[in-house]
Amino acid sequence: MAQIRVVAILALAVFLSGCATTGMRPAHGPDDPFKPINKKISVFNQHLDRILLKPTAEAYVGLTPLPLRRGVSDFFSNLEDVRVIVNESLEGRARPALLETARFVVNSTLGLLGLIDVATPMGLRARDAGFGQTLAVWGVRSGPYVVLPLFGPSDVRDAIGLGLDGFGNPSTYLADPSAMWSAYGVQLIDTRSHYLHQGLLVRLAAAGHEYSFVREAFWQKRRALVERLRRGQ
C-alpha cells in the first residue's frame, strides 16, 4: 500500500511540474484545462455512488443503531486527529497542534480509544488540516482543477496532499492487508452515510449544470481556506 502511494505521489508531482512549465498555474481560479477527462471521471464517480456507495451507506444507516454509528464516526475522527496534528505542526501552528494533541489524548483515554467524543464538550473542538493545506502554507500553487476517482473534486496540489495524508492515517500501518482495507471501507461508508441527501441537493441547486456547480463550489471553498490561513486562523 505504501509503495502504491509513493508511485501515485511521484506521478502527481511530475504532473504538477508539467503544469508549471505549460503555464497552468491558476492558484484559485476556475481553471479547468482537463475538463473532458474531469467530466468523464465525474460521471464514473456518480455511477459508482449510485450503484454501490449510496445503497451501502443507506443499508448501514438502516441496520446499525445510532449510538453504534456515532461510536464508529468518533473512532475514525479520532484517528484523523493524527493527520491534523502532523500538518498543523508542519505549518508552524503550535497552539492549534497542541490543542489537537490534547483532544486526541483525551478521546483516546477517557473516550475509550475514541469511541466517545468527550473532548468536544470540554471545549477541544475538532479541526481539519491536510497536507494539501500545508503545501498551500508553504507557497505551493494549487494547479488546475482535477476530479479524482472516488475522491471527487480537487486540484493538483490537494491531490498530492491527499496521497501524503495516507501516511498519517494509522489504518495504513495495519499489518494485515485485509484489516487495512476493511478499515478503509468502513470509514468510507461511514463518511458517505453523513451525506445521503447531498446528491439531491446538488442536483436541485445546479439546475442541470452539476459539473460546473461542483467545480465552482470547490474553488470557493479553497479561496475561503486561503483567506483563513492568511488571517492566521
Domain ranges in the chain are 2-230
Given a contact cutoff of 8 angstroms between Cβ atoms, the answer to whether 169 and 83 are in contact is yes
Does an H or E element contain 151, and which?
none
Residue 122 has pLDDT above 90, yes or no: yes
Residue 195, SS3 per DSSP: coil
Residues, the chain: 233
- 147 and 136 Cβ atoms separated by less than 8 Å: no
CA–CA dist 48, 35 (Å, integer): 20
- Residue 111: band (very low, low, confident or very high) from pLDDT cuts 50, 70, 90: very high
- Kindly report the backbone phi and psi dihedral angles of residue 212, in degrees, each rounded to the nearest multiple of 5, phi listed first: -65, -35
Mean of the per-residue pLDDT values of the chain: 84
Please tell me the least confidently modeled range out of 38-42, 53-57, 195-199.
Answer: 195-199
Local structure of 140: helix, strand or coil: coil
- Name which residue leads in pLDDT, 70 or 142: 70
Residue 5 has pLDDT above 60, yes or no: no
Read off the pLDDT of residues 176-204 as tens digits, 9 standing for 90 and up.
999 999 999 999 999 999 988 776 556 55
| CA-derived radius of gyration, the chain | 18
Backbone angles phi, psi at 218, to 5 degrees: -65, -50
pLDDT per residue over 78-99, tens digit each? 999 999 999 999 999 999 999 9
CB 153 within 8 A of CB 147: yes
Q: Using the predicted structure, report yes or no on whether residue 13 has a pLDDT greater than 60.
A: no
DSSP symbol at 154: E
pLDDT at 22 over 60: no
Residues 204-232: tens digit of each pLDDT: 555 567 888 888 888 888 878 777 776 76
Phi-psi region at 29: left, alpha or beta (left = phi > 0; alpha = psi -120 to 50): beta
pLDDT at residue 170, rounded to an integer: 86
Task: Give the mean model confidence (pLDDT) for residues 34-40.
Answer: 94
Q: What percent of the chain has pLDDT over 70?
A: 81
Beta bridge partners of 148: 152
Whole-prediction pTM = 0.79
